[in-house]
């Protein structure tokens, strides 16, 4: 891992965003205490009485911001990790991570401070762009291997002349690029039967 600069960069931005989510969780707890609005009766009992087991608009706002983070940052953690392993250009990869990170930070600030309407949506849309880009690149990179995997199950064995002396049974893959990048699996043995 210490040799993959893109992965290190991805780990940095991802961890910044996870810490940002922890901060939202801490803010939610503080708002609950300040507004005296608890989700559980046992918490309300400890903080003044059962009447404080109630909903509050400020608390719900924090929870919506946190949920939106889960819906978007968690997929980024996965997409970014796979994308980093696909050997992308470091500069382009860094740009993907930075745009997402900035977009999500602006999104949270706009959510919690209740900024005017299109700010939050714009930050959300901006942050989705690198996610869609990475998802597309992953699909483009993995589809051939995945499709090849299925077609391998339709391989046929053919007999070919071998050095003029005999015949050799070989597995005939329907995918000509079969041995280029993935090492042969355990089923791809070639058997030689001299007559």
Q: How far apart are the C-alpha atoms of 14 and 65, rounded to whole Å?
A: 17
| Nearer to its own copies (CB atom), residue 26 or residue 192 | 26
Q: For residue 21, give both structure tokens.
A: 């989510």
Site for its own copies contains 122 (CB under 8 A): no
Alpha carbon 177 to chain centroid, angstroms: 28
If 0-12 CB within 10 Å is exposed, 13-18 middle and 19+ buried, where does residue 100 land? buried
Alpha carbon 18 to chain centroid, angstroms: 13
Q: How far apart are the C-alpha atoms of 12 and 14, rounded to whole Å?
A: 6
Site for its own copies contains 40 (CB under 8 A): yes
Footprint (CB under 8 A) of its own copies, residues 93-112:
94, 111
Which part of the chain contacts its own copies (CB under 8 A), choosing from 10-18, 154-162, 166-174?
Answer: 10-18
Q: In this chain, which of 56, 58, 75, 133 binds its own copies, going by CB under 8 A?
A: 75
Segment (H or E) for 77: helix 57-85
- Give me the residue label for tokens 């978007």: 72
First to last CA, the chain: 51
Q: In this chain, which of 42, 159, 189, 193 binds its own copies, going by CB under 8 A?
A: 42
Interface with its own copies (CB under 8 A): 1-3, 5, 8-9, 11-16, 18-19, 21-22, 25, 39-43, 45-46, 61, 64, 66, 70-72, 74-75, 77-79, 82, 85-87, 90-91, 94, 111, 114-118, 120-121, 128, 131-132, 135, 138-139, 141-143, 145-146, 149-150, 153, 181-183, 185
């Amino acid at each position: 891992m210490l040799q993959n600069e893109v992965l290190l960069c991805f780990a940095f931005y991802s961890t910044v965003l996870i810490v940002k989510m922890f901060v939202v969780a801490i803010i939610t707890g503080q708002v609950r205490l300040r507004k005296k609005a608890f989700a559980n009766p046992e918490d309300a009992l400890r903080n003044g009485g059962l009447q404080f087991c109630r909903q509050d608009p400020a608390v719900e706002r924090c929870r919506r911001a946190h949920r939106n983070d889960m819906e978007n940052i968690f997929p980024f953690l996965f997409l970014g990790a796979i994308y980093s392993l696909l050997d992308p250009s470091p500069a382009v990869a860094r740009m993907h991570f930075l745009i997402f990170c900035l977009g999500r930070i602006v999104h949270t600030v706009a959510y919690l401070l209740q900024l005017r309407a299109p700010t939050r949506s714009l930050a959300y849309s901006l942050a989705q762009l690198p996610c869609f880009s990475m998802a597309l690149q992953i699909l483009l990179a993995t589809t051939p291997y995945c499709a090849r995997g299925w077609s391998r199950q339709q391989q046929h064995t053919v007999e070919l002349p071998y050095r003029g002396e005999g015949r050799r049974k070989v597995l005939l893959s329907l995918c000509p690029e079969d041995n280029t990048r993935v090492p042969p699996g355990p089923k791809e043995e070639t058997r030689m039967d001299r007559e």
